[in-house]
Structure formats: C-alpha cells, structure tokens
Amino acid sequence: MALNADLHCHSTVSDGLLTPAALARRAKDNGVELWALTDHDEIGGLAAARDEAAALDLRFVNGVEISVSWGEDQTVHIVGLGFDAAHAPLVEGLAKVRGGRDARAQHMAAELDKVGIHGAYEGALKYAGNPALISRAHFARYIVELGHAKEVKYVFDWWLAKGKPGYVAHPWATMAEALSWIHGGGGIAVIAHPARYRLSKAQLHEMFEVFKGLGGRGIEVISGSHGEDETRECARIAREFGFLASRASDFHGPGESWIDLGKLPDLPADLTPVWSELI
C-alpha cells in the first residue's frame, strides 16, 4: 500500500474554511499518513498544524504555496515543503508578497463595482479576516453570497479569471525569489497543479527548464484539480525532467473543493515520490 501523503491544502490562515487544527483532525480521520499545510504566501498556521498533528500522531511537514509572476501576466504557484519556518529571507519575502494583496483587492473591488457588484472589498474582507491574506477565493464567496453564482467554482469564469471584470494584474514574487527562499530554508520546491496554467506546451516546457535550472525538484502529478489526462501528462513530464512527484488535494474546505484531504489516487508506481526526500 502506497503512503497516503497529502502535501497541499489551505486553512483559515489563507483562503481555506477550516482552522489548521481542524484540518489536522480531518486529515487524520481521512487516513492521511503524511500531511503538509500550504497556505498562500503565509506560514502563520504551521505551528498550530504541527502541534495538532503531533497530538494525533500524524506525520507533518512544513509547507507554503507561493504566488509567482511568470511570463506576461501569468501566475504560477510554487509549493515549498520541509523548510525551516524561521528562515528569515522566507519570512520576510512572504511578508512582502502578502503586502500587495490589500491594494490589489481594493482595485478589484473598484472594477467589480463598475459592473454592479458593490461593496466587494468589505464583503471579501469579511471572509478573509485579514487584509494581507485577502484572495480571489474570498471575493468568490461574497459574489456567491450576493446570489450572482450558485457556487464558488462558477464565479471565476464570469468575474475573477484573467480577462474578466474583477481580474487585476499583480506582481507577485519572481520564480528565482520563491525558490531561493525555499532552498535557503532547506526545503524542496514543487510546481503546484502544472496543468492549470494557461501556457502553451512550449511555454510550459520553458518554465520547467527554468524551474529545474534554479534547483526546483518536484511537480504535483496527482492534484485535486487534475483530471486523468492531466495526471498522465504530468507523470510524463516528471519522467522527462526527472522531477519528484507530489500528491496534493489542494483542499480548501467542505463543499468548495473537488477532492477531500487524502482521498486521492496513488502516484504512478514508477515515479519517485517527493516524500522520499522528506521523511
């Protein structure tokens, strides 16, 4: 039996619906044997997650999902695993990345106001709690609350994806910065949900080369946001580039995610799991 590892999820410390401790309990209940919490651009939930995981005898590694600007106004997510959470450049770098979220959110709200979605900054902030962590997921919850969409997953294509009224371009970290913060802290960098980016095959290939050149080691092969064909393609990429393979639900909360914690297919047996380097 392959290890039930789930190395990607979100708590209330970013745009998830459950606290770090509640996620630890859910992971344990779902049979997860190795778990990482990977909030967006924030590591403030790791201590609570680690404490609860220890109490439950659940193996835990530090995680984070860093927002990275790539190419012409694309955003790529890099998951860091197994780093020292006290590594100062990581702590400071993440604070800088988060620092841009509040102004971006105000700009998004101004654009949404023009198309009849009023009060979106206050509405989203109500869900986020902290302006430094406000994300499109919080805007999506507010837009559902207003009745413009039935579920969060339907909001993006109408209002928040690139090219839609509430989308605002934003400079995140560079790939080199994100990887230097993770590697400086002794961690492993993994490209999150590679099939989700709006990049051509050639552009994706270039990104994998740059990532690998900067010391990036892994990609998510099994992801809550990958279909079967996408999983096959990511497995092929892992073989081509010699990447370690990760298994990642990207769970945000009950009713808001495609896949629950730990309820994922196994990695293809010939791939080397990223956790071979973590445990």
**Residue listed under structure tokens 């050149």:** 213
Name the region of 163 (left: φ>0; alpha: ψ -120 to 50; beta: rest).
left
Helix axes 101-114, 136-145, angle to 10 degrees: 30
The single-letter DSSP state of residue 162 is T
Binding Mn ion (rule: CB under 5 A), the pick from 250, 251, 261, 275 is 250
Q: State yes or no: residue 52 binds Mn ion (CB under 5 A).
A: no
Q: State yes or no: residue 156 binds ligand AMP (CB under 6 A).
A: yes
Q: State yes or no: residue 137 binds ligand AMP (CB under 6 A).
A: yes
Q: Which of residues 127-146 bind Mn ion (CB under 5 A)?
A: 137
Residue nearest Mn ion by beta-carbon distance: 77
Q: How many CB atoms sit inside 10 A of residue 214's CB?
A: 16
Find the shortest distance in angstroms from Cβ 1 to ligand AMP.
Answer: 30
Q: Exposure pattern of 87-97 as b/e (b: 16+ CB <10 Å)?
A: beebeebbeeb
Using the rule CB under 6 A, give the single segment among 46-54, 148-156, 216-224, 230-238 that binds ligand AMP.
148-156
Find the shortest distance in angstroms from Cβ 136 to ligand AMP.
Answer: 4
Residue 183 has, within 13 A of its CA and on its CB side, a CA count of: 16
Closest to 191 (Cα-Cα) out of 221, 169, 170, 171: 221
Q: Dig out the tokens for 66 from the structure.
A: 């860093």
Q: CA-to-CA distance for 61 and 203, rounded, in angstroms?
A: 31
Find the shortest distance in angstroms from Cβ 276 to ligand AMP.
Answer: 27
183: partner contacted, choices ligand AMP, Mn ion, none (Cβ within 5-8 A by kind): none
Using the rule CB under 6 A, give the single segment among 91-99, 121-129, 130-138, 213-221 that binds ligand AMP.
130-138
Q: Which of residues 200-259 bind ligand AMP (CB under 6 A)?
A: 252
Comparison of 83 and 159: residue with beta carbon closer to ligand AMP? 159
User: Which stretches of the chain bind Mn ion, using CB under 5 A?
Assistant: 15, 65, 77, 137, 192, 250
User: Which stretches of the chain bind ligand AMP, using CB under 6 A?
Assistant: 15, 40, 67, 135-137, 152-153, 156, 252
